Each structure stands twice: as structure tokens, then as C-alpha cells.
Structure 1
Amino acid sequence: MIGGTGLIGSKLVGKLTEHGHEAVAAAPNTGVNTLTGEGLAEVLEGASVVVDVSNSPSFEDEAVMDFFRTSTTNLLKAEAEAGVTHHVALSVVGTERLQESGYFRAKQAQEELIKDSGIPYSIVHATQFFEFAKGLADGVTDGDTVRLPAGKIQPIVSDDVAAAVGRTAVGPPVNGVVEVAGPEAFELEDFIRMGLAAKNDPRKIVTDPKATYWGAELQETTLLPGPDAHIAETKFADWLAQQQ
């Protein structure tokens, strides 16, 4: 589990272990560094499936591209040498439609490396997490005002993302993309407003026609999944109520 000590990785390790799988968390703090290659050969010895849920520590255009290109290249090379038979990666619904954004260009580059590697693979595209409402707002805050582009979002709780990635990891490679999303679509403004209100955050929220999403212009459906997506059950309002 690359990124195995983070939000999704730690949940995944727990879920897979509960179901009798031998899940190993791999991250810099466990001695595995995909950027330098440190510890990769050792941790992949005997592994049949590698799940990559790691993320770049920096979202700056050049840094994030370097992270995903370097870490994915190193990881896939080590997997080929170790005989890994299934590579699973977590990515984002709408990645291919958000190529004005440096972050999503980097995620697209990661996906292309995986597809071209020759290793059987599955890419899980998830919508944005419930937990990210504040972070999304922080990225587009101007003074005390959150300026958002118009568009819809169908967010999902991280527990349901972990469950979806886990199901994919224990199944056969799909050699393609599977999508997972929450049960309800919101206007982006309404999703952020609900998330901030639950934290008693007083910032003003407006839809601004000049605003972008991580540097990319949004269409109404850019962030929404397709008709074949797996729809999780947890509703945003129910999750917010549990956080109080």
C-alpha cells in the first residue's frame, strides 16, 4: 500500500487486514520512498498487488508533475522486477477534463505511465471527498470570501473510497478506469457552504464566473461521474451530523 499511512491508505490497510489479506503500509515514515526508490525492492518482495494512494506533498505545477512522474516510474519498474500482477491507483473523476490544471495534468501523466507499463492495472476515479470541503474553500478564499466556479459536485466520504479501492484490489485487473461517487450531486457552492457551516466557519461564499477549480475552468458536469459509476451510500448531511 503506497501511501499506506495516509487518510485512504490507513483505512485500506485496516479493511484488507480485517478480511484476511496481508496488507503492508509503505510510506516514507516506514522506510519506503518512491521518489528515491529507497525500500521499494524490499517491500515489494512477494507482493502480488500494489495499491498506490500516495499524493504529492506540493501542488505547485512543476513539483507535482515531478512527484507523479518520478514516483510512478520508480514504482512500476520495481513492480516489474518483483513480478507484481496487479497495479491499482487512486485518481480523480474528471481528471481528463481538467487539463488546464497543473495538478490534473500530473495525475493524467501518472495514469498514462500506468497504462503503458505492461502491468495489469485498475485505476479508481473517485469524486472529491467530504473531508475536503474546507481545503477546497481555503484554496479559493479571497479575504473573507470564498470565490467558487459554477458547477456540480458529487462528493463521497473517504471510508467509501477506501472500500471501493479495496474491492478493486482484491478483484481481477480491469485494465481501465472504474468510477466511484457519493449518492448526491450538489452545486459546488452548496457543498462548500454546508461543509463550512458545520464548522461554524463564517466565510462568505459566492459563485464567481472568473473563478477556477485548481486552475481549470469548470463546466457544469466536469466533476460528475459517468452513468456506470459505483454509487456509495453515505450522505453528506448524515456524515456531517456524525462529526458534531
Structure 2
Amino acid sequence: MRFAVVGGTGLIGSKVVKKLNEAGHEAVPHSKSTGVDVITGEGLDQAAAGADAVVNLTNSPTFDDASSAFFQQSMDNLLEAGRKAGVRHVVVLSIVGVDQVPELDYYRAKTLQEEVLAAGPLPYSVVRATQFMEFVDSIMSWTADAGTVRLPTTPLQPIAAQDVADAVAAVAAGEPLQGIHNIAGPEVFPLDELGRITLAARSDSRTVTTDDTAGMFAAVRGDVLTGRADASLAPTRYADWLAAH
């Protein structure tokens, strides 16, 4: 099969391209650096031409209310390019529980992206993943100072980027789901505890203070960001990931 991987030079995209090519497919990465702009539409027709499937791994440059406009425009342009090219499958990467946190601008925007895809003219699949292990440091940085990291007790079920890429590649190579496939890491942690584990593994002397008002994830209610009952559990444990990174 031939795949156009839009956003194919990023953290997940580059791994998806490699995984698909190793499996004997032809996966071509596309991004602004290769002349493809999902907002203006530049290069999209050429990227989609001849592709059996398009994998959309692009992301909004902001996490605020402007992200909705990004996902609306980018999906409209991508679906139109795919329709003209006769693409048979469009895959989008989203977030487990994304439609359960309307308080967050970015999560509302990702929900909109899913809705535009589902209402569009092409067969589709949505892969929803829990938070990436690679993003834990960034999450901590939002509420950190020189000596303290403030984190809420929000339960997270982190997943390694490579496991996400493997799942996206597998779904992309299969038949369209016309629905959602949930994937999650194998372990659930309160976010504050995840912070303590991370700092200890890196011999970081900062302390974690539990603060259920701190950071973006303070708005999350309950365990909506952990794997659902139907989620496929990835193999990589957080301690093993930390040891390797």
C-alpha cells in the first residue's frame, strides 16, 4: 500500500513512516518542510495523489481557542484533497477521553477534528492514545519553579511514542474502522506520583507538591484520560521507558 503521512517528520509521524516502510509499504512523509501546508492547502493534492491512505498527524501550533480553527481548516483541506485523489482511508491520531473534557480548548478542538473526519466523504479511522511518556517533562514544566513542581492527582496512563506509532501504522494498514480505536500504556499513575517517579529516576532534587488546581490537567474530572475497557494496552512500562531515556 502507498501512504501519505502528513505530519510525517514529527515525533509520531517519523516513527509511523519507518514502521510502514519496514512492513513493505511505501510511506511518504509530508510536512511544511517538504512543501505541504494543511492550512493553505499548498502541496496537499500532490501529497494525496496515488495514495491508498492518508495518515494525518499534524498538530495545532497553539493549545488555546485558536486550535479549533486549525483543525477545522486542516481537515477540510485534507479531506478535499483525499476525495479528489480517490483515497480509500484517512487516519487521525487523537486523545483518549478527548470528548469528556470540554473545559479545555485544545480538547474541544481535537473533538471537532474527529467530528469533521466522521462527517466527511472518506472512510476513516481514529486512533485515540493516552498521554505520551515523552510529554511528562513538558507537563511538569508548566507548573515548576527552581525547587518545586506542582501537580494534580489526575490519573494518567502514559504510553510510549513508539507504541503509539506502531498502533497507528497497524490501523492505517487495515480496513477503515468507521470509528475509534483506543490505546493506552500498561499502568495508571496519579500525575503527582508520575512526577515524583520521573524526578527520582533523573536524580532531580526538586520536590513535587500535590496541587489539584495546578496546570491543564487540573480541569480533568475523574479517570476519563485513562484507557477505556476496550483499550488495547501497549507493552512499554514507564520505568523501562525512563531507563532507556
Q: What's the TM-score, normalizing by structure 1?
A: 0.94
CA contact (8 A) 2:79 2:121 kept: no
Amino acid at match of 2:74: S
Letter of the 1:237 counterpart: A
**Is 1:126 matched with 2:126?**
no
Query: Which whole-Å CA distance do the structure 1 matches of 2:109 and 2:97 have between them?
Result: 13
Inter-partner Cα distance in structure 2 for 1:188 and 1:3: 28
Match of 1:226 among 212, 225, 228: 228
The amino acid across from 1:56 in the alignment is S
TM normalised by structure 2 equals 0.93
User: Which of 38, 50, 53 pairs up with 1:34?
Assistant: 38
**1:14 maps to which of 12, 18, 21:** 18
How many residues are treated as equivalent by the alignment?
241
Q: Which one-letter code corresponds to 1:28 in the other structure?
A: K
Superposed CA deviations along residues 183-236 of structure 1, whole A, max 9, x for unmatched, are 11111111122223333433331221323535x622231211111111011111
Q: Which amino acid aligns with 1:97?
A: Q
Is 1:155 the counterpart of 2:152? The answer is no
User: Alignment partner of 2:28: what SS?
Assistant: coil
How does 1:78-93 map onto structure 2 within 5 Å? 78-93=81-96
Gaps of 5+ in 2: none
The CA deviation string for residues 123-146 of structure 1, in whole angstroms up to 9 with x for no partner, is 000001111111111123356432
Conserved? CA contact 1:149–1:213, under 8 Å? no
Corresponding residue for 1:141? 144
| 1:52 CA drift (Å) | 0.7
**Aligned-pair RMSD on alpha carbons?**
1.5
Match of 2:176, SS? coil
Unaligned runs of 5+ in 1: none
* Equivalent-residue separation in structure 2 for 1:196 and 1:68 (angstroms): 34
Question: What amino acid maps onto 2:181 in structure 1?
Answer: V
3-state SS in 1 of match to 2:165: helix
Return the offset for 1:24. Answer: 0.6
Evaluate the alpha carbon distance shift between residue 204 and residue 89 of structure 1 in structure 2; reply closer, same or farther with a 3 A threshold: same
Alignment of 1:167-206 (within 5 A): 167-206=170-209
CA offsets, 1:120-171, max 9 Å, x none? 1100000011111111111233564322222211111000000000000000
Deviation at 1:61, TM superposition (A): 2.1
Residue 51 of structure 1 and its aligned partner are, at CA, apart by 0.4
| Preserved contact between residue 192 and residue 209 of structure 2 (Cα < 8 Å) | yes
197-206 or 10-19: bigger deviation = 197-206
For the residues of structure 2 that align with 1:197 and 1:4, how far apart are their CA atoms?
33
